[in-house]
């Protein structure tokens, strides 16, 4: 209790507040920009956190995560586009309200319920921390192993429309995560004798590639929907009153948000829909839903902020991320030397409380800023896409480079960007791939450790039995559950492309099995098992697609019909996105020739001027700002930028990529 | 070849110039310390802690920059240092046990010539082993552990310094000792508290923070420490756990003979890599003695700085830093294992069915 208060005092120290505030602002920004969310926001700051004291870094990272689901309401209400996946349900009633001229009421109701939900989540988290020690002590190697299996099952099954594809994405992630030095024997595995892969593929490269790049390319493709007029003058108090009148909905939906958030995998993407449908089921008069019922805004918004508190429970106690952004949060923990688990509730309890307080205060700050500066912030939705996109691309390249200081990371980034775009277009789960990737080493180690300590007897332990039952019932439920609406596969074009993509995916497990076949059995049994299962799963998907596209009779079988549901995805604009993606490849080549700083300036200028010649003043201004930031960072971090071919010929200053001294 | 010639001549010129100038001065120069790890790691903290003090005491007060090149199991940054080194005192290397072990085990990717680097300062560390109080009545008694069929302990990977654990337990006749792979010392400690493994180990900082409270509660007892090796080869007890015997003491008790011969030789190599040169600051090979001495003098002045003294205990641990001549042989001993030592380590690796071998 004493620590509970002292960490609050610590947080109110000026520097802490500064970092928290900075994080909150960044979180608000990435929440508003359509497509970006907490995952991209964290990926951007991750390279900088290791220069910070742990408590500052935590305040900042939590500051980023907490308000993204608050500010994402702006585009949801004003433009009818969810700012992050967590505000999809808000659009249902928020946008009609806005069209009816009640945008301010919808926004203030959303912000206020976000605030309450966020604080509720922090409250539940602090209670669960209090009871955590016996739970952690009861989770030995075997229980942790089963818990991860359960998490992977749920993530794989729930984050996409088709659960076989989701599980396959998990397995692909596990395979990619097993690249690098084999943890048991120390043999290099699938590294092709290069140094680059010896520690595996870097987390930031995978996270940025899978999440940030597809969203930016998607933004370019959609040409950035722009809100025409912003009328959010009146009705602010009405919204707050609405929330107070519906306080019971707030409590119920916050509880749902917490529980769903704590279950790995459900996390960000569906919690708003669950809260929304709960509201519909428990309300007598449903006539106004979808047409502008304020309750339809309050329910999802309180739930999606409460989920952050819930999602931190498995993250802090077991190191199991519930959603994509928690993977990066855990990556940040590693950088600042914090290990999730027992330490979080014993020696590092002060840091845990600091995070809880940060969560609560960031929610208040976020909602407060949104309400007070709504008119200014909503203008962010007006920024033109062709100015935003190149700057974000440069930012992503910089953050990636700074994480590992390796030129090759750019190639990795684009490779995973490619995978991300295709996954997004063809309905493969990106969170499943990322979480599988992150947990891979843990799965491998825990399976060895469990076997070494217990043999097979670990399944007799009581907690294990509960977890096994949970796993089995998850699978059963998923086989029966029809999630979302079935897509009419006759209307879906480019089915053949989707089938080709499966063949492409098959290359990875097959190649991996061949390359590592000769290693010691303790080094290759895990990846080869993964490859084997993945090949089977991919074959099943292939058969389903093949038969479905041939209109076979097999669809009469109920089980097959369930698992074949939504096996194809609409993928409009996939080809367009490829065109934009090729712009990134050109940028990469420019890096190779001119070095990072010069290439970035050229890229931004060319991009902006190509879209609108009149903006050249703006692009020059952005270039100047960019160069001075790069100059400052290179001397602060002793950072040598990739210098490119030109640097080999001409002697460049240090901060443009030249030699030191 | 062209580069080499230039380097050679500039080297000659530089040494002539500096001898004429009587005394080395770094006024207006930038010194780069290459650290082959991420920011935030132990080596990064070690160098960043010394950075302001070194600026203060190196003549001419140069700007000292720390350049982090992580990745490749520390090999990437170390190879980078080797390729880009300048023997003029403006280029230093932040080294740690894992950099040394990469050389000692003969990793084929290593391109850096560590044994000829010139050490400025070494920061020793020491390993503590401990066990549950029901498995050993007092620190000196490991008879219960020797009789147990299965004694589990954490081992990160056999390609790291953790490989020394296998050798240590083998020499103490704990036949049931079995490493649990892939467990870091902190992960291993959590498993130890859950009762899943039997022996656990920690460095000084974590020992004080995490283990001491459990010892005071009576749940955990000290088993032994590696011991602090002096410049004359003597081994003394760790001041943090004065009741715990050192490894040589324990060896003598178990085997009824003094640690000597090949075993002693292996112990010295292991202790050098694992304990004495835990973290270090090195100058590249071929750095003139004059420049090396300037840096060593600065280090000596730094260690005697009252401000440094008051902060160092918390930031760096309780063990005295090693400066100057005696540091040279330690780095050599740590990075070049004798054939006997390699053979001994390979034997225990084989015994535990690891495929990894020292080359």
Which residues are CB-contacts of A308 (< 8 A; sequence separation ≥ 6)?
A65, A66, A69, A118, A121, A261, A359
Specify whether the CB–CB gap between A153 and A167 falls below 8 A: yes
Does residue B316 fall inside a structural domain? yes
Do B98 and B166 belong to one domain?
no
B13 pLDDT above the threshold of 80: no
Min Cα–Cα distance to chain A from B35, Å: 11
Rounded to 5 degrees, what angle do the CA atoms A174, A175, A177 make? 65
Assign residue B346 the CATH number of its domain: 3.40.190.10
CB contact under 8 A, A342 and B356: no
Q: Is the dihedral of CA B197, B198, B199, B200 positive or negative?
A: positive
From CA A627, how far away is CA A611, in angstroms rounded?
A: 22
Specify whether the CB–CB gap between B136 and B145 falls below 8 A: yes
Q: How confident is the model at residue B22 (pLDDT cuts 50, 70, 90)?
A: very low
Domain that holds residue A537: 143-211+414-563
End position of a domain, from candidates A509, A535, A563: A563
CB contact under 8 A, B71 and A198: yes
> Minimum mean pLDDT among A186-200, A248-262, B100-114, B147-161: which range?
A186-200
Do B188 and B299 belong to one domain?
no
Do A522 and A436 belong to one domain?
yes
Distances (CA, A) of A2 to A8, A21, A351, A353, A528: 10, 25, 13, 11, 51
Which residues are CB-contacts of B353 (< 8 A; sequence separation ≥ 6)?
none
Would you state the pLDDT for residue A22? 92
Do B118 and B139 belong to one domain?
no
Does residue A474 fall inside a structural domain? yes
In A225-344, beta strands by DSSP E: none
Do B6 and B34 belong to one domain?
yes
Do A95 and A63 belong to one domain?
yes
DSSP B72: G
Backbone angles phi, psi at A509, to 5 degrees: -60, -35
Specify whether the CB–CB gap between A113 and A121 falls below 8 A: no
Share above pLDDT 70 across residues of chain B, in percent, rounded to a whole number: 93
Do B139 and B282 belong to one domain?
no
* Among A321, A333, A320, CA closest to A58: A333
From CA B167, how far away is CA B185, in angstroms rounded?
A: 17
| Predicted model pTM | 0.85
Do A375 and A323 belong to one domain?
yes
Do A51 and A109 belong to one domain?
yes
Do B10 and B118 belong to one domain?
yes
From CA A499, how far away is CA B146, in angstroms rounded?
A: 60
Does residue B359 fall inside a structural domain? no
Does residue A349 fall inside a structural domain? yes
Does residue B47 fall inside a structural domain? yes
* Among A527, A477, A466, A521, CA closest to A142: A466
Enter the tokens of residue B161.
Answer: 């310094």
Domain that holds residue B311: 2-123+277-323
Task: Say whether residue B38 is in contact with chain A using an 8 A CB cutoff.
Answer: yes
Backbone angles phi, psi at B256, to 5 degrees: 55, 25
Do B64 and B155 belong to one domain?
no
Find where tokens 């010892």 sit.
B215
Nearest-CA residue of chain B relative to A333? B40
Do A163 and A206 belong to one domain?
yes
Taking residue A320's Cβ as centre, other Cβ atoms within 10 Å add up to: 26
B chain contacts of residue A640, beta-carbon cutoff 8 Å: 67
Do B101 and B164 belong to one domain?
no
Does residue A58 fall inside a structural domain? yes
The partner residues of B119 in beta bridges, in order of sequence, read B282
Nearest-CA residue of chain A relative to B185? A339
Enter the tokens of residue A651.
Answer: 């002697």
Task: Say whether residue B253 is in contact with chain A using an 8 A CB cutoff.
Answer: no
Does residue B50 fall inside a structural domain? yes
CB contact under 8 A, B355 and A187: yes
* Among B233, B230, B231, CA closest to B326: B231
CB contact under 8 A, A638 and B75: no
Distances (CA, A) of B346 to B27, B48, B100, B105, B352: 50, 37, 18, 10, 10
Assign residue B311 the CATH number of its domain: 3.40.190.150
**Distance, first Cα to last Cα, chain B:** 31
Total domains, chain B = 2
Residue bearing the bigger pLDDT, A479 or B318: B318
Does residue B6 fall inside a structural domain? yes
End position of a domain, from candidates A363, A383, A403: A383
From CA B208, how far away is CA B313, in angstroms rounded?
A: 12
Does residue B204 fall inside a structural domain? yes
> What is the Cα Rg of chain B in Å?
21
In A432-585, beta strands by DSSP E: none
Q: E strand or H helix at B91, and its extent?
A: strand B91-96
Do A530 and A423 belong to one domain?
yes
**Distance, first Cα to last Cα, chain A:** 53
Would you state the pLDDT for residue A162? 77
Share above pLDDT 90 across residues of chain B, in percent, rounded to a whole number: 52
Contacts for A576-584: CB closer than 8 Å, 24+ residues apart: A576/A221, A577/A214, A577/A217, A577/A218, A577/A220, A577/A221, A577/A421, A577/A425, A578/A421, A580/A217, A580/A220, A580/A221, A581/A213, A581/A217, A581/A414, A581/A417, A581/A418, A581/A421, A583/A607, A584/A213, A584/A217, A584/A393, A584/A414, A584/A417
Tell me the count of A-B CB pairs closer than 8 A.
Answer: 112
Find where tokens 């490779």 sit.
A415
Do A326 and A466 belong to one domain?
no
Does residue B332 fall inside a structural domain? no
Specify whether the CB–CB gap between A547 and A507 falls below 8 A: no
Task: Say whether residue B75 is in contact with chain A using an 8 A CB cutoff.
Answer: yes
Total domains, chain A = 3
Q: Which residues of A touch B (CB under 8 A)?
A: 50-51, 137, 139-141, 181, 183-187, 193, 195-196, 198-199, 335-337, 339, 341-343, 347, 404-406, 441, 444-445, 448-449, 452-453, 520, 522-523, 638, 640, 660-661
Mean pLDDT per 10-residue interval, chain A, length 661 residues: 79 88 90 76 78 85 89 84 76 86 88 93 91 88 90 76 85 94 82 84 88 83 58 77 92 90 68 84 82 90 90 89 83 82 87 92 92 81 80 86 82 93 86 89 91 85 88 75 52 74 92 90 91 94 75 54 60 76 92 90 91 87 90 77 80 70 49
Does residue B331 fall inside a structural domain? no
Of B76, B159, B180, the CB nearest to A449: B180
Do B154 and B225 belong to one domain?
yes
Measured in whole angstroms, how far is the alpha carbon of residue B342 from the centre of its chain? 18
Do A114 and A257 belong to one domain?
yes
End position of a domain, from candidates A563, A590, A624: A563
DSSP A194: -
B322-323 and B118-123 beta bridge pairing? antiparallel
Do A622 and A548 belong to one domain?
no
Do A202 and A242 belong to one domain?
no
Specify whether the CB–CB gap between B153 and B322 falls below 8 A: no
Report the number of secondary-structure helices (H) and strands (E) in chain A. Answer: 32, 2
Looking from the CA of B61 toward its CB, the CA atoms found within 13 Å total: 2
CB contact under 8 A, A185 and B354: yes
Do B292 and B187 belong to one domain?
no
Measured in residues, chain A has a length of 661
Do A437 and A557 belong to one domain?
yes
Nearest-CA residue of chain B relative to A193? B109
Do A374 and A260 belong to one domain?
yes
The partner residues of B222 in beta bridges, in order of sequence, read B130
Task: Give B222-274 pLDDT, tens digit per residue.
Answer: 999 999 998 888 999 999 999 899 999 999 999 999 999 999 999 999 999 99
From CA A432, how far away is CA B145, in angstroms rounded?
A: 44
Do B210 and B347 belong to one domain?
yes
Q: Where are the alpha helices (DSSP H) in A246-266?
A: 247-262
Of B30, B66, B180, the CB nearest to A452: B180
Do B173 and B267 belong to one domain?
yes
Specify whether the CB–CB gap between B52 and B61 falls below 8 A: no
* Dihedral, B182, B187, B190, B192 alpha carbons, nearest 10: 40
């Amino acid at each position: 209790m004493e620590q509970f208060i002292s960490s609050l005092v610590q947080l109110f120290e000026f520097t802490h507040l500064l970092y928290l505030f900075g994080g909150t602002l960044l979180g608000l920004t990435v929440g508003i920009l359509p497509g970006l969310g907490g995952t991209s926001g964290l990926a951007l700051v991750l390279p900088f956190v290791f220069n910070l004291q742990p408590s500052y870094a935590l305040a900042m990272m939590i500051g980023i995560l907490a308000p993204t689901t608050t500010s994402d309401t702006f585009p949801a209400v004003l433009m009818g586009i969810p700012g992050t996946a967590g505000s999809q349900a808000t659009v249902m009633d928020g946008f009609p309200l806005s069209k009816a001229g009640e945008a301010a009421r919808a926004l203030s109701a959303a912000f206020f319920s976000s605030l309450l939900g966020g604080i509720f989540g922090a409250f539940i988290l602090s209670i669960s921390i209090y009871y955590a020690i016996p739970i952690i002590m009861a989770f030995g190697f075997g229980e942790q192993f089963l818990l991860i299996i359960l998490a992977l099952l749920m993530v794989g099954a729930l984050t996409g429309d088709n659960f076989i594809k989701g599980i396959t994405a998990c397995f692909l992630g596990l395979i990619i995560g097993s690249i690098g030095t084999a943890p048991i024997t120390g043999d290099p595995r699938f590294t092709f004798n290069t140094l680059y892969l010896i520690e595996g593929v870097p987390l930031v490269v995978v996270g940025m590639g899978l999440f940030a790049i597809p969203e930016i390319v998607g933004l370019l493709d959609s040409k950035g929907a722009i809100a025409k007029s912003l009328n959010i003058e009146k009705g602010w108090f009405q919204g707050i009153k609405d929330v107070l009148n519906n306080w019971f909905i707030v409590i119920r939906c916050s509880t749902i948000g917490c529980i769903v958030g704590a279950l790995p995998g459900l996390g960000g993407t569906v919690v708003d829909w669950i809260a929304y449908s709960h509201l519909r089921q428990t309300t007598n008069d449903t006539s106004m839903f979808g047409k502008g019922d304020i309750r339809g805004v309050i329910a999802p918004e309180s739930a999606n902020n409460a989920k952050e508190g819930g999602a931190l429970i498995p993250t802090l106690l077991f190191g199991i991320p519930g959603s994509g952004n928690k993977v990066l949060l855990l990556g940040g923990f590693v950088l600042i030397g914090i290990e999730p688990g027992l330490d979080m509730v014993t020696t590092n309890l002060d840091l845990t409380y600091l995070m809880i307080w940060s969560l609560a205060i960031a929610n208040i700050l976020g909602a407060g800023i949104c309400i007070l500066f709504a008119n200014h912030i909503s203008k962010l939705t007006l920024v033109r896409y062709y100015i935003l996109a190149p700057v974000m691309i440069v930012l992503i390249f910089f953050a990636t480079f700074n994480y590992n200081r390796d030129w090759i990371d750019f190639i990795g980034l684009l490779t995973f960007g490619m995978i991300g775009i295709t996954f997004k277009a063809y309905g493969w789960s990106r969170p499943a791939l990322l979480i599988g990737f992150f947990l891979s080493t843990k799965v491998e180690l825990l399976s060895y450790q469990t076997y070494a300590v217990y043999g097979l007897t670990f399944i007799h332990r009581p907690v294990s039995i509960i977890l096994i039952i949970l796993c089995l019932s998850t699978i059963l439920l998923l086989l029966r559950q029809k999630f979302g609406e079935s897509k009419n596969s006759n209307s879906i074009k480019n089915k053949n492309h989707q089938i080709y993509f499966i063949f492409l995916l098959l290359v990875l497990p097959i190649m991996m099995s061949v390359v590592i076949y000769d290693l010691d059995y303790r080094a290759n049994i895990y990846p080869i098992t993964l490859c084997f299962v993945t090949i089977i799963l991919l074959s099943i998907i292939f058969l389903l697609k093949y038969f479905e596209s041939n209109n076979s009779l097999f669809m009469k079988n109920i089980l097959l019909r369930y698992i074949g549901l939504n096996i194809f995805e609409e993928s409009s604009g996939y080809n367009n996105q490829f065109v934009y993606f090729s712009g990134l490849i050109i940028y990469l080549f420019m890096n190779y020739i001119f070095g990072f700083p010069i290439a970035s300036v050229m890229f931004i200028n060319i991009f902006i001027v190509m879209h609108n010649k009149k903006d050249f003043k703006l692009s020059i201004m952005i270039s100047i700002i960019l160069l001075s930031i790069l100059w400052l960072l290179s001397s602060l971090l002793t950072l040598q930028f990739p210098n490119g071919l030109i640097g080999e010929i001409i002697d460049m200053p240090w901060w443009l990529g030249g030699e030191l001294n | 070849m062209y580069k080499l010639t230039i380097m050679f001549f500039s080297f000659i010129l530089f040494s002539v110039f500096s001898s004429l100038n009587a005394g080395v001065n770094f006024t207006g120069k930038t010194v780069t310390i290459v650290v082959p790890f991420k920011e935030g790691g132990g080596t990064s903290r070690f160098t960043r802690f010394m950075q302001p003090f070194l600026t203060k005491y190196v003549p001419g007060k140069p700007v000292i920059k720390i350049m982090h090149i992580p990745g490749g199991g520390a090999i990437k940054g170390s190879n980078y240092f080797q390729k880009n080194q300048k023997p003029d005192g403006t280029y230093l290397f932040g080294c740690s046990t894992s950099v040394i072990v990469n050389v000692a085990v003969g990793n084929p990717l290593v391109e850096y010539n560590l044994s000829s680097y010139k050490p400025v300062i070494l920061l020793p560390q020491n390993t503590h082993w401990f066990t549950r109080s029901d498995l050993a009545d007092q620190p000196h008694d490991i008879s219960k552990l020797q009789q147990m069929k299965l004694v589990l302990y954490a081992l990160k990977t056999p390609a790291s310094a953790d490989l020394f654990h296998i050798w240590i337990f083998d020499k103490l006749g704990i036949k049931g000792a079995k490493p649990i792979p892939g467990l870091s010392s902190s992960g291993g400690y959590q498993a130890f508290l859950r009762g899943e493994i039997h022996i656990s180990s920690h460095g000084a900082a974590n020992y004080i923070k995490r283990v001491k409270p459990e010892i005071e509660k009576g749940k955990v007892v000290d088993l032994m420490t590696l011991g602090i090796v002096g410049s004359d080869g003597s081994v003394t007890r760790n001041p943090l756990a004065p009741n715990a015997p050192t490894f040589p003491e324990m060896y003598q008790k178990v085997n009824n003979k003094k640690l000597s011969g090949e075993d002693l030789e292996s112990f010295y190599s292991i202790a050098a890599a694992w304990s004495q040169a835990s973290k270090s600051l090195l100058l590249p090979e071929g750095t003139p003695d004059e420049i090396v001495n300037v840096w060593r003098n600065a280090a000596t002045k730094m260690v005697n700085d009252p401000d440094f003294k008051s902060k160092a205990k918390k930031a760096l641990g309780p063990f005295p830093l090693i400066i100057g001549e005696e540091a040279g042989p330690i780095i050599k001993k740590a990075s070049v294992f004798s054939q006997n030592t390699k053979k001994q380590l390979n034997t225990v690796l084989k015994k535990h069915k690891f495929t990894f071998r020292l080359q």
